[in-house]
Chain A
Amino acid sequence: MRILRPFSFCFRLLVGWGVLTSATWATTIRPPSFEELVDLSGRIVRAEVVEVRPFEDSHEEDRIVRTEIILNVLESFDGNVPVGELRIRHLGGEVNGLRLEVGAMPKFESGKEVVLFLHSEGRFICPTVGWGHGKYRVDRTASDGVARIIRSNGLPLQSIAQVAEPIHGGPMKAQSFDPLSQPDGLSLAQFRQLVSNQIQAGRQDR
């Protein structure tokens, strides 16, 4: 009987994550592993983007543009975020003939459903952990009706190991076998469960 034994299962997963994590640093961002993404997040929510509103921050001495994203939180995976409105902000945007651009800042679009891994409350240049690696779109257009998780590059998130891959998802060195890989992409339900598992594992470690 060939069975995937607990040790080899964990070993492969750890090796895969370790390689992927340690081998790929972004210039501006070190892509987090899935474990890091969950552990570093103070709030994890599924929400609908209601409005994307750049504004000139009058609290600053200089002319600063920030962008406020108004979310309708549908579900809180972690952090006890109440269902309903949540406002997050990132540096940069364009208003009144002034544009402040921050490289690699994730883009938000009104009407889209997203899963966000957010820092605890505070003033961060970007509210998502690992920037684009902390923002996923929920796609409900698949023919089988299953809601799936989409990365910032528009491609399905096929495994949680892919969280640490470059956003474009191209070939990487030392790709490891990942027993959780889903060719069609992880479903929202699968992703939710994996997040939940990691939250529990993180708490046990603590």
Chain B
Amino acid sequence: MSWRRLGGACVLSLIWGSAAPAFVADDNEWPNGNINYQIRLGGSASGPLIDGANSWTTVALDAMAEWNRHINDVQFTGQEASVGGEGQTNLVNDLFFSSTIYGDAFGSQTLAVTLSLFQGFSQPLPRVESDIVFNNKSELNWNSYRGARRFDVDDLRRVLIHELGHALGLDHPDDAGQSVSAIMNALVSDIDTVVTDDILGGQSMYGVGVAGVPDGGGGTPSGDDFEDDDVPADATTITNGVSQTHSIHEIGDKDWVKFTVGGLGAEDVVIETTGVTGDTEIFLFGPDSSDTFIDSDDDTDRPNGNFFSRINRSSLGAGTYFVRIEEFSNNATIGSYDITVSWTEISPPSTSTAKLANLSVRAKTGGQFGTLILGFATSDASKDVLVRGIGPSLVDFGVTGAIGDPVARMFNSSQVEIASNDDWVDASNSNEIATRGATLGAFAPTSGLEAILLQNVSPAPYTVLVSDFQDRTGEVLIEAYDADSMFATGRLVNLSTRTEVGGAAGTLIAGFVISGTGEMTLLIRGVGPTLAAFGVSGVLSDPFIRVLNASQQEVGGNDDWNSSGAAAKRSATATVGAFALQEGSLDSALLITLAPGAYTVLVEGFGGAAGNALVEIYEVP
């Protein structure tokens, strides 16, 4: 028969409110006094341990002390003893490494075992011995450290604290179906010492030690200096760049902070938690609302073992924003963590704010046309770009022959793939893609099979390859959007694509959108003959370009680039870093200044010629 106390008692649960204990305690207690261990761990470790301890005996005594200060009726004691003197039922508590448990194999998955012996003539049988055996197989890498659990090192100290809890008579609260933060849970976690539920369990059997009743064990939880801040109305104002120290002082605690961005908004916004031990998740809401969700983070960009959180936003508009901080699973406390919010206020632009907001190209991909490749470049600062490969949704615009299932792959200038997507609805950030797309005015795709990437990129050139998942040939629209606010520093500065023009391929159609105010100058080129110098065969012998505005009115065009304004075009070419066109070639180039709006560039072969052509659109600063 098993004699257990689960979670103390119902009466205690009511007193403790939301922090109801979940410990599982045996009724077979030790008699008052010392629980003495023969520590047969071999004394010195092979080298200094991570926490600075130089012997396993020190680690063991330290683990015992963790319990001792919280309980009263019994105390763990121990002394170093010779290796190999252990006995299974000799009424001596032994703590040792072994490859077996008194001759029984551990099994491949077992790290440590506590064997407890009960002997007597009346129930409950009194506890008379508890041996703790650590598996010493070579695959285990025993050490001693604090903080977040490391995947390549097994922390003997926290495992021993857990096993000593078994020796006291505590069981796994999680195996009993209860969800609570505890080192007595069956799972090793970031918890490296006894916490409230463990302490309450020990104290239920052996009374309150010198450390007293833990927070959460009675009365009103104290929390940090900013409590009560559990709801948005009580959010603490946090100053740009000034950290605040908070805690998740009880299971389910939530902390709210708020900050206000003025003027034209903020850029390079970083919201992060830091600390020694804990696993936070943060949520950003706003502007001027604690309900409008913007972003969240667990610990996605943190190295192994760091479970704190960080949200990076390239920009935020003016307004008040709210941040909610939680323990990741809402099943543990965090003794202390820092929250910091920093940003750079956006200064008012002194001149034109016009910039390229969107670049796109529609052409055939696959088969004889090869994979359609879009190149684009960003400058000045890192920025979010939304890149879309649209196929099946084109039917909504009367386009026939589109590919059915686009796949987009993005490469950096070193030809390293940095992102890819097949079906955008399967992307982990599909909600953000939909939200950002709507904000940018991109038409909503009516098919989940479209390929869409939302990517933060540093200033550099990039290429996007779009093909059909089943290698079908057809029309596809590739778009690259500036996905930041209009006041963000980063800019889209270039678009290029090379593909077949004329004949079955038809007209090469590229589009761009200028946002902001004022005007901007663009260098637009349709390159054919000069491509031969780069080894391209079958080039379009005589391209010509036309630029149409949103009303389909032609606002500019060119056949042969040096037929007019050649000097200015040469200068602009050098300024933007484009390759020089061959003097006297039939390539086309246009230097044009435009107001904000949507424009289309058409590249065709003069006289119906067909061939390979490159279209480029450069912002000329």
Answer yes or no: B47 CB below 8 A from chain A CBs.
no
1/0 per residue, CB under 8 A from B, across A46-72: the answer is: 000000000000001011100000000
In the complex, what residues of A have CB within 8 A of residue B425's CB?
2
Q: In the complex, which of the residues B113, B115, B179, B405 has the most CB atoms of chain A within 10 Å of its own CB atom?
A: B113
Q: Are B449 and A2 touching (Cβ within 8 A)? A: yes
Q: Which of B109, B121, B186, B329 contacts A171 (CB 8 A)?
A: B329
Q: Min CB distance, B99 to chain A, in Å?
A: 12
Q: Would B117 and A98 count as touching, CB distance under 8 A?
A: yes
Contact-residue size bin, chain A (C-beta under 8 Å from the other chain)? 35 or more
Residues of A within 8 A of B90 (CB): 62
A203 at interface, CB cutoff 8 A: no
User: Known contacts being A22-B151, A123-B105, is A170 close to B125, with CB within 8 Å?
Assistant: no
Instruction: Specify which of A27, A62, A154 is in contact with B112 (CB 8 Å cutoff).
Output: A27
Which residues in window 95-146 of A have CB below 8 A to B? 97-104, 119, 122-126, 129-133
Contacts of A25 in B (CB 8 A): 111, 149, 187-188
The reply to whether B125 and A104 contact each other, CB–CB distance below 8 Å, is: no
Asked whether any CB of chain A lies closer than 8 Å to the CB of B221, the reply is: no
Asked if B109 contacts A31 (CB within 8 A), the reply is: yes
Bound-state CA distance A99–B102 (Å) is 17
CB-CB nearest in chain A for B101: A125
Chain B residues with CB below 8 A from A154, complex form:
177
- The distance from the CB of A1 to the nearest CB of chain B, in whole angstroms, is 7
A168 CB-CB contact with B under 8 Å: yes
Q: Which residue in chain B gives the minimum CB-CB distance to A98?
A: B119
Interface pair B188/A124, CB less than 8 Å apart: no
A29: contacting residue among B109, B117, B166, CB under 8 A: B109
| Selected contact of B111 from candidates A26, A99, A167, CB within 8 Å | A26
The chain A residue sitting closest to B121, CB to CB, is A97
Contact with A along B454-481 (1 / 0, CB 8 A): 0000000000000000000000000000
| B116 CB-CB contact with A under 8 Å | yes
- The answer to whether B186 touches A124 (Cβ under 8 A) is no
Q: Which chain A residue has the least Cβ–Cβ distance from B448?
A: A2
Cβ contact of B177, chosen from A8, A119, A129, A153, cutoff 8 A? A153
- In-complex Cβ contact of A125 among B105, B166, B449 (8 A): B105
CA distance in complex: A181, B176 (Å): 24
Residues of B within 8 A of A31 (CB): 109
Asked whether B186 lies within 8 Å of A26 as measured between CB atoms, the reply is yes
**Distance in angstroms between the alpha carbons of A26 and B114 in the assembled complex:** 13
- Among residues of A, the one whose C-beta sits closest to the C-beta of B88 is A62
Is A149 among interface residues, defined by CB-CB distance under 8 A? no
* A27 close to B125 (CB less than 8 A): no
Most chain B beta-carbon contacts within 10 A, residue among A60, A126, A172: A126
Which residues of chain B come closer than 8 Å to A156, judged between CB atoms?
none
Interface residues of B in 393-416 (CB under 8 A from A): 404-405
**Set B112, B120, B174: member contacting A166, Cβ < 8 A:** B174
B87 & A62 in contact (Cβ 8 Å cutoff): yes
The residue of chain B having its C-beta at the shortest distance from the C-beta of A154 within the complex is B177
Which residues of A are found within 8 Å of B89, using beta-carbon distances?
62-64, 100
**Interface membership of chain B positions 84-104, coded 1 if the CB is closer than 8 angstroms to chain A and 0 otherwise:** 000111100000000001111
B171 contacts partner chain A, Cβ-Cβ < 8 Å: yes
* B88 interface neighbour in A64, A130, A167, A173, Cβ under 8 Å: A64
Known: A28-B111, A29-B111, A63-B89. A1 touches B176 (CB 8 A): no
Cα distance A170–B404 in the bound complex, in angstroms = 41
In the complex the two chains form, is B107's CB within 8 Å of A131's CB? Answer: yes
With A27-B187, A100-B89 as known contacts, state yes or no: A168 contacts B177, CB within 8 Å. yes
The answer on a CB contact under 8 Å between B107 and A119 is: yes
Can you list, as one digit per residue, whether each of A146-167 has a CB less than 8 Å from chain B (1) or not (0)? 0000001110000000000011
Which chain A residues border B185 with CB–CB below 8 Å? 166
Residues in A with CB closer than 8 Å to B329 are 171-173
Name the residue of chain B whose CB is nearest to the CB of A92. B115
Say yes or no for B279: interface residue by CB 8 A criterion: yes
Contact A129 B109 (CB under 8 A): yes
Alpha-carbon distance between A29 and B112 when the two chains are bound, in angstroms: 7
A100/B115 contact (C-beta < 8 A), A1-B405, A168-B178, A171-B329 known? yes
Most B C-beta atoms less than 10 A away, residue of A27, A103, A123: A27
B159 near A: Cβ within 8 Å? yes
Inter-chain CA distance A87–B420, complex, in Å, is 55
Q: Is B175 an interface residue (CB 8 A)?
A: yes
Most buried by A among B87, B111, B120: B111
Given A27-B163, A98-B117, A104-B175, A91 contacting B107 (CB threshold 8 A) = no
Residue of A nearest to B135 (CB): A28
User: A192 in the interface, Cβ–Cβ < 8 Å?
Assistant: no
- Distance A131 CA – B105 CA, assembled complex (angstroms): 12
Residue numbers in B under 8 Å from A24 (CB-CB): 187
Chain B residues near A119: list those with CB within 8 A: 105, 107
Q: Is B352 in the interface zone, CB < 8 Å from A?
A: no
Q: How far is the CB of A30 from chain B (nearest CB, A)?
A: 5
**Is B106 part of the contact surface with A, judged by Cβ < 8 Å?**
yes
Q: Does B110 lie at the interface of the complex (its beta carbon under 8 Å from any beta carbon of A)?
A: yes
Chain A residues lying within 8 Å of B187, measured Cβ to Cβ, are 24-27, 166
Could you tell me the distance in whole angstroms from the C-beta of B20 to the nearest C-beta in chain A? 15
A32 to B185, CA, bound (A): 17
Query: Are B118 and A27 in contact, CB atoms less than 8 angstroms apart?
Result: no
Expressed in whole angstroms, the minimum distance between the Cβ of B82 and any Cβ of chain A is 19
A131: min CB distance to chain B, Å: 7
A40, CB-defined interface residue at 8 Å: yes
B101 and A60 contact, CB distance less than 8 A: no
Within 8 A of A (CB), among B272-329: 279, 298, 328-329
Judge whether A173 and B449 touch: CB under 8 Å: no
State whether the Cβ of B331 lies closer than 8 Å to any Cβ in chain A: yes
Q: Provided the pairs A62-B87, A64-B89, A97-B120 are in contact, do residues A28 and B179 lie with their beta carbons within 8 angstroms?
A: no
| Other-chain residue from A27, A99, A131, A170 in contact with B162 (beta carbon distance below 8 A) | A27
Q: Decide: B107 and A125 in contact? CB cutoff 8 A.
A: yes
B172, CB-defined interface residue at 8 Å: yes
Asked if B542 is an interface residue, CB under 8 A from chain A, the answer is no
A173-B328 in contact (CB<8A): yes
Q: Is B108 an interface residue (CB 8 A)?
A: yes
The list of the 6 closest CB pairs from A to B, nearest first, reads A62-B89, A99-B118, A125-B104, A168-B174, A27-B162, A25-B188
What are 22 A-B pairs at a CB distance below 8 A? A1-B404, A1-B405, A24-B187, A25-B111, A26-B187, A28-B186, A29-B109, A29-B110, A29-B186, A32-B109, A60-B88, A91-B115, A98-B117, A100-B118, A103-B163, A123-B103, A125-B107, A129-B108, A170-B174, A170-B331, A173-B279, A173-B298
Q: Which residues of B contact A (CB under 8 A)?
A: 87-90, 101-121, 125, 149, 151, 159, 162-163, 166, 171-172, 174-179, 185-188, 279, 298, 328-329, 331, 404-405, 422-423, 425-426, 448-449
Residues of chain A touching chain B, judged by Cβ–Cβ distance below 8 Å, are 1-2, 8, 22, 24-32, 36, 40, 60, 62-64, 91-92, 94, 97-104, 119, 122-126, 129-133, 152-154, 166-168, 170-173
